[in-house]
Structure 1
Amino acid sequence: MFAWLQPRPKEKHAMGNVSWLRAAVLGANDGILSVSGLLIGVSSAEVSQRNIALTGVSGLIAGALSMAAGEYVSVSSQADLETADLDLERQEMEQHWDEEVIELTNVYIKRGLDRELARTVATKLMEHDALEAHARDELGINMYSIAKPLQASLSSAGAFSTGAILPLITALLSPIEHVTFILTFSTLFFLAFLGIVGAQIGGANRMRAIFRVTVLGVIAMAVTSLVGKFFETPT
């Protein structure tokens, strides 16, 4: 009774997961492929178990630090640009308030509002929080999710390490004469599982996600295996 009075449940959109999902999948995928590629390359050259272990551990540490450093620099640059734009916008509002109202009004007109309504909306939003309104609607910056370099750096390193540890453990537990074979198929399994997880969280097609990551994985492993064969240690 009176069910029509009940609020409709809020929709759950996949776009809410896009930022962290992209970083997590990218890091884990990079970790799996990078370390697996290294291990398949050296195992194809018929090196010792000790060399395989050393290569895997070195690849994991180097890759995690590289991801952390790269992400920190990248996100720091993004944060600097966002801060500079916000500072400029703050200065413009202090010196040219009316012009900024007109600027925001034109943004809403381009989005489909008539001029009178657009000016009313712009005025009201600027009275509430002028910088937030311009940041969101003019610059496309979300004031509540400004880039955080340290957080991004640690997340990328953690995601890479999580992915990289899987082929490393697999290689260490496999018989030396079957490392390449076992690594190849286990890596495809890890990539397929990662594709399923990413598709599930992001609401995407599972088969398309699996196909995408496994095909690219096969290509990467084939290339590194050929390189290893080229430098195969003579018996």
Structure 2
Amino acid sequence: MAEPTADAPTSAGGNATVVPEHGETHGGSSASRLNWLRAAVLGANDGIVSTAGLVVGVAAASASRGPVLAAGVAGLAAGALSMGVGEYVSVSTQRDTEEALLAKEVRELAEEPEAELAELAEIYEGKGLSPELAHRVAVELTAHDALGAHAEAELRIDPDNLTSPWQAAFASMAAFTVGALLPLLAIVLPPVSVRVPVTMAAVVLALVVTGVLSARLGESDARRATLRVVAGGVLAMAVTYAIGSFVGVHV
């Protein structure tokens, strides 16, 4: 919801008439898209690191492509399903909470309209408006879309743009799958003698990309974020390679 601005058009009496800018009454859609993009990048990063660690560990224990491919495919499927189910449950819980809050707001608007109007005016007064202007803004917004105005100001929820659990689940599954395919292909396609170095190089390159993307989406330092992501991925591969080598020799 756009906050009233000083250069709002004036009424015939010379007083400022505060009207939210068109399209900004419910401005959560862009933030929602940004969150989805960030989640997709992180999901792909999870797919890269977890699958790379798995296949490198198995490759250290076995020179045959069969076990490596089987382990990689199984890890990809299990990881993608786990991500999808986890995201579905999480977003379903969030949506249930949002719907319950909106239902409560609907009841309060029906049973106590004056109290809700005063509450909305207090919110805008707390943002710095004068009591008179805050009351006028609350009256006009309530007349236009009472539920939307209260949901945005009090709950930070857009009633017309609630998150879809199924969309979240499929997006997480797809992102994880795309990320997991890279180390899986990198480990099974090259010759056995170079498959581990090739996989590690491909994973480091992919992690640099996801690190830079996540840093830009979060408006943080790209070098620091990328270093953390790459260091975590390399550590995971080193540990699983060491475990796989030990198991391959002693079992």
Please, what TM-score do these two structures have when normalized by structure 2?
0.81
**What CA distance in whole angstroms lies between the structure 1 residues aligned with 2:139 and 2:110?**
15
Equivalent positions of 1:187-198 (< 5 A) are 187-198=203-214
**What CA distance in whole angstroms lies between the structure 2 residues aligned with 1:207 and 1:214?**
10
1:95 aligns with 2:111: yes
**Superimposed CA distance per residue, residues 21-71 of structure 1 (whole angstroms, 9 cap, x where no aligned partner):** 211101100110111010111112235210000000001111111111111
Equivalent positions of 1:20-31 (< 5 A) are 20-31=36-47
Q: CA deviation at 1:201?
A: 6.2
Residue aligned with 2:153, SS: helix
2:182 alignment partner in structure 1:
166
1:48 aligns with 2:64: yes
1:182 aligns with 2:211: no
Q: 1:79 aligns with which of 95, 106, 122?
A: 95
Equivalent positions of 1:146-161 (< 5 A) are 146-161=162-177
Residue aligned with 1:229, SS: helix
**What CA distance in whole angstroms lies between the structure 2 residues aligned with 1:146 and 1:15?**
12
Equivalent residues of 2:51, 2:72 under 8 A apart: yes
**What CA distance in whole angstroms lies between the structure 2 residues aligned with 1:100 and 1:196?**
45
Tell me which amino acid in the other structure corresponds to 1:178: V
Distance 1:140 1:201, change over 3 A: closer
1:11 alignment partner in structure 2:
none
Q: CA deviation at 1:17?
A: 4.7
199-208 vs 99-108, which deviates more?
199-208
Distance 1:17 1:201, change over 3 A: farther
Q: CA deviation at 1:87?
A: 0.3
Tell me which amino acid in the other structure corresponds to 1:229: S
2:79 alignment partner in structure 1:
63
Please, what TM-score do these two structures have when normalized by structure 1?
0.86
Equivalent positions of 1:208-227 (< 5 A) are 208-227=224-243
Tell me which amino acid in the other structure corresponds to 2:194: H
**What CA distance in whole angstroms lies between the structure 1 residues aligned with 2:119 and 2:32?**
29
**What CA distance in whole angstroms lies between the structure 2 residues aligned with 1:15 and 1:202?**
12
**What CA distance in whole angstroms lies between the structure 2 residues aligned with 1:230 and 1:147?**
46
1:105 aligns with 2:124: no
The structure in which a higher percent of residues are helix is 1
Equivalent residues of 1:35, 1:164 under 8 A apart: yes
68-77 vs 43-52, which deviates more?
43-52
Tell me which amino acid in the other structure corresponds to 2:71: T
2:51 alignment partner in structure 1:
35
Q: CA deviation at 1:197?
A: 4.1
**What CA distance in whole angstroms lies between the structure 1 residues aligned with 2:145 and 2:163?**
20
1:128 alignment partner in structure 2:
144
Work out the number of aligned pairs and report it.
222
Tell me which amino acid in the other structure corresponds to 1:24: A
Q: Which gives a bigger RCO, structure 1 or 2 (Cα 8 Å, sep 6+)?
A: 1
Off by >6 Å, runs of 4+ in structure 1? none
2:134 alignment partner in structure 1:
118
199-208 vs 100-109, which deviates more?
199-208
